[in-house]
Structure 1
Amino acid sequence: MNERDTGQASEELTDRLTKVFDLVGPLYRCTHRKVEQDISAEGLSVGERAVLSLLRDHGPMTVPQMGRAQALSRQFVQRMVNDAAARGLVESAPNPAHQRSSLIRLTEQGRAAIAAVIRRERTVLRQAGGDLTETEVEACLRVLSRLLEVMGNADVD
């Protein structure tokens, strides 16, 4: 019986997954700092960038939907939406599925701001891709997605 049969990783694989997990924190913090530097040209916060990107990728969403998608509190997302709305980057729209929870959508100004940020980020990411193969990147996405799935469903005391 192998790991796939039991659904359990070997000790060696668990050790390797721990190394992946240990890299995620520093990667997140470095990326967070880089994004903060890059988005200053647009005057966005990292939180606003996350909201704009989510709306760009998924279309209009409610604040609770955005919070679940990003594993963030509804209150934090609401603050980011309020900040973005005050700057004319997003707007509320009626939600036919729920009267009290409006849909939030990008404005033209919001679309332009997130497009400029994404263009700059892609320039940096092109440099990172150098000797990586599509297979390696797909494997990385699979591993990180699985870790997110497991950690997102982990019981927290």
Structure 2
Amino acid sequence: MPQTKRTPAGDALSDLILDLFRLNSLLFTAGDRLVAGLGLTSARWQILGAIVAAERPQPVAWLARDLGANRQNVQRIVNDLDRDGLVSFETNPHHRRAQLVVLTDKGRQAFDAAMRLQSPWVNGLSEGLAVKDIETMGRIVAALREKLESSVEPDARA
């Protein structure tokens, strides 16, 4: 079976994807270190952020969708957050089994403390980078995310 050659854009995007994989790992490691003193991990912080960003309490499945994450993994972390008093569950009037995840006061305090640590860190990380370049990268990442969210799964047989 002949192998399809990549276009120059496909080559460049492949290189970028590999760099993004490495960056994602480095960001999670740095985030873990940043918030370790608060009893958080990057994953817990990310979920608290999704809860804060939501306009109203949501079930775990919706949080997972918003994060582009696996529902079971998000459920496990939310259960840990509940055990530690950072979130609680409320009855969902629209679905008996899919409870709503709600940030507690303790959870809000932990998230706010994490964001206070994040500000100087991200400011330092952005030093030397042009705002226009960062915004361009943001648009590229958003466009790629939208393409992936709206596309069918890749065919492994191709």
Alignment root-mean-square deviation, CA:
1.9
CA distance in 1, matches of 2:70, 2:35: 23
The alignment covers a number of residue pairs equal to 148
CA distance in 1, matches of 2:36, 2:127: 27
Specify every segment of 5 or more residues in structure 1 that has no aligned partner in the other structure, as ranges: 1-9
Per the alignment, residue 125 of structure 1 pairs with: 122
Aligned AA (1:34): A
> SS of 1:50's equivalent?
helix
After TM superposition, the score normalised by the length of structure 1 is 0.84
Alignment of 1:94-105 (within 5 A): 94-105=91-102
> SS of 1:131's equivalent?
coil
Per the alignment, residue 3 of structure 2 pairs with: none
> SS of 1:95's equivalent?
coil
CA distance in 2, matches of 1:60, 1:132: 36
Aligned AA (1:94): T
Per the alignment, residue 7 of structure 1 pairs with: none
Alignment of 1:27-42 (within 5 A): 27-42=23-38
Deviation of 1:154 (Å)? 4.3
Deviation of 1:89 (Å)? 0.3
Aligned AA (1:16): A
What do residues 4-61 of structure 1 show as CA deviations (whole Å, max 9, x unaligned)?
Answer: xxxxxx9333333222212101101111111111121111133221211101111421
Specify every segment of 5 or more residues in structure 2 that has no aligned partner in the other structure, as ranges: 1-5
Identity %, equivalent residues: 25
> Aligned to 1:12, which of 1, 5, 8?
8
Aligned AA (1:84): L
Aligned AA (2:51): L
CA distance in 2, matches of 1:71, 1:129: 25
After TM superposition, the score normalised by the length of structure 2 is 0.84
